[in-house]
Amino acid sequence: MRVPTQFSVDQVVVGHSPRMRAIFDFVKVVSRSDSSVIITGESGTGKEVVANMLHHQSARRHQPFVAVSCALFSESLIETELFGHERGAFTGAIKDKPGRFELAQGGTLFLDDIDDVPLSMQVKLLRALQNREVERVGGTRTIPVNVRIITGTKRDLKQMVAEGKFREDLYYRLNVLPIVLPPLRERREDVPLLMEHFLKRFARERGIEVPQVSPAVRHAFDRYRWPGNVRELENACERIIQTCSCGTARVGCLAVSILFGAASAEGASPLAQPAPVASISLDDRLKEVESNLIGWALKVADGNKSKAAELLNIKRSTLGDRITRCGIAEPRSDVESAPVPA
């Protein structure tokens, strides 16, 4: 979700899914604390939104909220970016520059993409967090900092620790309060609500009426996997608002990748007649989605269940239970993913 320049907690759509409700209740509780938070979630699931909420509901809300993506900077740049530098520290350092830690003084520092921070930098980060002070590059004085640290990661840090790619001591320092954001495909019940929300927002920005949405479009939105999560949904809605010329959003307003993606998720249950407006069984749908994904993972993993479980980000034992529940006998060949053009 794109964070509006003027962030307000009321603008955040919580949705109906029990998991998201639980997350937001948890956010309310932990925003009162000063402890470190790790937000884990795929790209586009709303890590920065949650970080913003944590800050804006905390006692630090009148202090700065500084967000920085650690993936944007090269190894040497991260250090000067986070800790700042003194004049003359290196060629081009013509004046003193405070780092993000200092800029966030008294407030919250959101370090996104922490999984992209190189090991050498992790040591320095750990020291800064432990001692609550930073030293600018090329400087000698230590500057005490009082910031709340929130980190965002798209990969499972624990896994990275096991692989030796992330320092264990830093992991435990950061991982006091973990929040895991589910991918959108695991909370499909929220797709219609999010769609309404974004359509309304973009229509308001463009100064037009909110278009009607055809059942076929709703159907495609329901079926599509949304690999880019809420951000992708948001962009699809923006596209509708920007291109719709007839007042009703129809399939022609969607990216063909969504149409093909939705069509290939259709599987055995065809949409032979005009989109059914009749009631649908959410449980059946979810089960279908689940078994499709499990089938896909098993296929990609060549039937290796441990690998498949890893792909699905679930425990090996959970996968076993779900395979039994969905009645999948072996890797299925009918869930081949179709080519998805842009």
257 binds other proteins (CB under 8 A): yes
CA distance 294 to 296: 5
Helix axes 47-56, 18-30, angle to 10 degrees: 40
Please identify which residue in 20, 134, 259, 309 interacts with other proteins, judged by CB under 8 A. 259
Give Cα 311 to chain centroid, integer Å: 17
Q: Segment contacting other proteins (CB under 8 A): 179-187, 253-261, 287-295, 329-337?
A: 253-261
Is 285 one of the binding residues for other proteins (CB under 8 A)?
no
User: Residue 204 CB, nearest distance to other proteins (Å)?
Assistant: 20
State which of residues 66, 191, 244, 298 lies at the interface with other proteins (CB under 8 A).
244
| Among 68, 137, 254, 312, interactor with other proteins by CB under 8 A | 254
Closest to other proteins by CB, 11 vs 257, is 257
In the complex, least distance from residue 248 CB atom to other proteins, rounded to whole angstroms: 8
User: Which one of 92-100, 136-144, 152-160, 214-222 is the stretch in contact with other proteins (CB under 8 A)?
Assistant: 214-222
Please identify which residue in 161, 263, 300, 311 interacts with other proteins, judged by CB under 8 A.
Answer: 263
Can you tell me which of 175, 214, 304, 313 binds other proteins, judged by CB under 8 A?
A: 214
Length of the chain: 342
Window of 30-38, 50-58, 89-97, 270-278 that interacts with other proteins by CB under 8 A: 270-278
- DSSP structural state of residue 5: S
Shortest approach of other proteins to residue 333 CB, angstroms?
A: 17
**What six digits make up the tokens of 304?**
């290796």
For other proteins (CB under 8 A), the number of binding residues is 35
Q: Tokens 């370090």 appear where? A: 111
Of 23-31, 82-90, 217-225, 295-303, which part binds other proteins (CB under 8 A)?
A: 217-225
Separation in Å, CA 155 to CA 6, 152, 331? 29, 9, 26
Contacts 24+ apart (CB under 8 A), 68-77: 68/100, 68/109, 68/110, 68/111, 68/112, 69/112, 69/113, 70/111, 70/112, 70/113, 70/114, 70/116, 70/117, 71/112, 71/113, 71/116, 72/113, 75/118, 75/120, 75/121
Residue with smaller CB distance to other proteins, 262 or 294 = 262
By C-alpha distance, which of 182, 42, 187, 183 is closest to 112? Answer: 42
Beta strands 148-153; 108-112: pairing state = parallel
* Site residues, other proteins (CB under 8 A): 214-217, 219-220, 243-246, 248, 250-257, 259-260, 262-264, 266, 270-275, 338-339, 341-342
